[in-house]
Structure 1
Amino acid sequence: MSIRPVIETRTARPTLEGAGVKLHRAFGFQDPSELDPFLLFDDFRNERPEDYMRGFPWHPHRGIETITYVLAGTVEHGDSLGNTGRLGSGDVQWMTAGSGIMHQEMPQGNAKGQMHGFQLWANLPSHLKMTTPRYQDVKGADISEIVDDDGTRVRVIVGEFWGKKGPVDGIAAEPQYLDIFVPAGVKKTFKIDTYRRAFAYVFEGSGRFADASRPTGVLLEKEVMGQEVHMRDLSGDRTLIRFGTGEEVTVQAGDEGIRFLLISGAPIEEPVAWHGPIVMNTKAELMQAMADLRNGTFIRPA
């Protein structure tokens, strides 16, 4: 088996989104080929209601799918098709925007005022850009959690893993989306399809990921600067790890254990024309979407 090399790490950057929600963005609005089929990943985590209560008022989407995963607090949502609902702790929503949808997402904290969740954008291939919009809302209780003998816990949100299948299906990118906790001091290996792009996002604890540039068991981050290769231990919160090709990812948990998302998907490898929440294949299609917004034809009849 081949270990996927760590080709880049970065810390999610603070940014403002929606009506003034403070969040951290791990990637997005840069090179869409970098993690194709994924376009954007946000970590919205706050303990001050004033940092998130203004939420994400009505806005459009076309040509993408979004997955929202809530860990603490709730998110109330509504859309132009008349759908409404609330995501609570542990719940997941996958929205296929397809031909176009207007929606809003309004976060509310828990009893302690805490709010924490993630949103991932996945691209749609050209033949599905104008597909009929749909939602998949999944309660946390319906998501399989696997507990291994060493205490490792894996929630299978999308895809198949260790004999369990996630409840979200029919996603164009055919992703695997796992929420993983590895206990303190435990070393664990996770297999990933060789042909998928993959990244991990560390949001609790710390640890080290094996790098294929060193022998198995030497767990280091590789950072290329000019012609020099520098090595240093990897640890820390809100850290994105981007992997190269290979068949597995190995992690060594730190003193407090490590919790991270491990996400992979098959690249689409098509041209991307992107403006805000609308992602098409050509500039002409993007301009048509803008014209549809102006003339009131953005929402197509079912």
Structure 2
Amino acid sequence: MSIRTVQQLIPARQVSDGAGVKIKRSLGLSQQLRLDPFLMLDCFGSDEASDYIAGFPAHPHRGFETVTYMLHGHMLHQDHMGNKGHLKSGGVQWMTAGRGIIHSEMPQQESGLMQGFQLWLNLPAAEKMKAAAYVDMAPEQIPQAALADGGQVKVIAGRFQAGEMALDGAIRGLSTDPQFYDLHLLAGQQVSLSLPADYNALLYAYEGSVELPAGQQAASIAVHHAAILGQGDRVQIKALTDTKAIVLAGKPIGEPVVQYGPFVMNTPDEIEQAIRDYQAGKLTGDQPLQAIQI
């Protein structure tokens, strides 16, 4: 078994998106800061209403998937077909934009903490124009378990394996086979988890800090830093403090990526077509939204 080491550290930088929501972005800060199949990783978190109250009014997407993991707070999702979904603390929405979707994500609170993640996950060319689909998962639908030496893991997608322990996530069977774990570790705790050797992977600490191998030494991963991991079939994590971190991994697509704002395709011509379709009101093709099976 080979241990993955830290290849690159990406400190998250504060940016604003939507109608002025303040977020911390790591993946996606530039076209060079991606990790196939992951396009963007945003962490939002504030107890100041002015940082999030304007939300994300109606906007389009085509060609990829969005995953919203709400740690604290309450957001209302609405789409062009009139569907509504309430995303509350501990819940997840997994949305496949496919050919096209127009939706909004608006806070349903005027005070208090709103915290979570949004991940953009690319689709292969053969799936970019498929029908849009999504699933809203309540907290109780997300598998979780206590770890051997304390702490716990929530498995949003994929299959978590650590020693004798194995736990299947809520989402499985997608072409990029995404792995999405939320780890809560105690200070000094060590975890060794398995990942497919040929998948790209990263760890993002959103509370506390961890230590990961980095060649012959160890690297300390501070809060709000994304650690891009090298190849290998095992990840060794040591919590330096009580820590919360997400681990992401996925099968690389290996295709060209051309992005223009909310459209992610393979060629400039496809981007121009997406813009024309949106301007003509044909982005979604009036397709019905399908339900992702979990």
> Corresponding residue for 2:291?
none
The aligned counterpart of 2:290 is none
C-alpha RMSD of the superposition: 1.5
2:197 counterpart residue number: 194
Q: Any idea what SS the aligned residue of 1:141 has?
A: helix
Q: Unpaired segments of 5 or more residues in structure 1?
A: 222-233
Aligned-residue offset at 1:34: 3.9
- Structure 2: runs of 5+ lacking an equivalent: 288-294
For 1:245, the equivalent position in structure 2 comes to 231
Q: Which residue of 2 aligns with 1:123?
A: 122
Q: How does the TM-score come out when normalised to structure 1?
A: 0.90
Q: Once the two structures are aligned, what percentage of the paired residues are identical?
A: 40
Aligned partner of 1:261 in structure 2 is 246
The change in CA–CA distance for 1:2 and 1:109 in structure 2 (over 3 A counts) is farther
CA distance in 2: counterparts of 1:71 and 1:201, whole angstroms: 15
Tell me, in whole angstroms, the C-alpha distance in 1 between the residues paired with 2:9 and 2:147: 28
Contact 2:28–2:34 (Cα < 8 Å) also in 1: no
What is the match of residue 153 of structure 1? 152
Cα distance in 1 for partners of 2:107, 2:151 equals 30
Structure 2 equivalent of residue 167 of structure 1: 170
In structure 1, the residue corresponding to 2:208 is in which secondary structure?
A: strand
Q: How far did 1:97 drift?
A: 0.2
Q: Tell me if structure 2 keeps the 8 A contact 1:32–1:272.
A: no
**Structure 1 residue 33: Cα displacement:** 7.8
Q: Structure 1 CA distance, aligned partners of 2:11 and 2:34?
A: 16
Residue 171 of structure 1 deviates from its aligned partner by 2.8
Q: Which secondary structure does the structure 2 equivalent of 1:203 belong to?
A: strand
1:41-73 C-alpha deviation (Å, 9 max, x unpaired):
000111101110100000000000000000000
TM-score normalised by length of structure 2: 0.92
Equivalent pairs, count: 283
Which of the numbers 255, 259, 282 marks the counterpart of 1:270? Answer: 255
Q: 1:6 maps to which residue?
A: 6
Answer whether contact 1:33 1:269 (CA < 8 A) is retained: no
For residues 254 and 7 of structure 2, the distance between their equivalents in structure 1, rounded to whole angstroms, comes to 20
For residue 65 of structure 1, what is the aligned residue in structure 2? 65
- 1:33/1:208 Cα in 2 relative to 1: closer, same or farther (>3 Å)? closer
| 3-state DSSP of counterpart to 1:135 | strand
- Which residue of structure 1 aligns with residue 292 of structure 2? none
Q: Which amino acid aligns with 2:205?
A: V
* 8 A contact 2:128–2:265 mirrored in 1: yes
